[in-house]
Amino acid sequence: MAENQDSAALLNGSAMKPDAFDGTKSKYIAWKTQMKLYVVTQRKRLPEQFDRVLMILSYMKGGHAGEYVATFMKKYDADENSVIQTTKTLWEDLDRHFLIDEQAEAYDRLQAMQMGALRTFMTSRHISRS
């Protein structure tokens, strides 16, 4: 029964809200996972990318995370078009700020492997069509 309730919660956009993130690097990956899941459940309520960016930022409070948001808002106040506008770009920037160096290196290697596999796949598909 609980599983059905969880599925229903995801379908109607009421997934459990993530904890606030204070910028502690060791907590970043877990928070990011929670936050990304929550963002997915809120897509209908927040169809615009920038609204999702603001929602993510609203879950960053205190410590280095609070400083990050304060800097973002200062830039926004000066020029609305100068700030990050998409969740993809926001996650890339947050990764640069909050991933532990070893995690960032492992993440970069994983991305490179995935892109290499994609390139190989696309090349093999192109060659086989010739």
pLDDT tens profile 84-101: 999 999 999 999 999 887
Q: Does residue 72 fall inside a structural domain?
A: yes
Q: Does residue 9 fall inside a structural domain?
A: no
* Contact present, 86 and 47 (Cβ < 8 Å): no
CA distance 65 to 48: 23
* Residue position matching structure tokens 């059905």: 4
Q: Does residue 7 fall inside a structural domain?
A: no
**What domain range is 109 assigned to?**
25-121
Q: Does residue 8 fall inside a structural domain?
A: no
Q: Does residue 95 fall inside a structural domain?
A: yes
Lowest average pLDDT, out of 2-16, 17-31, 100-114, goes to 2-16
pTM above the 0.75 mark? no
**pLDDT at position 8:** 47
Q: Does residue 108 fall inside a structural domain?
A: yes
Q: What is the pLDDT of residues 52-81, one digit of tens each?
A: 999 999 999 999 999 999 999 999 999 999
Q: Which helix (H) or strand (E) holds 33?
A: helix 28-41
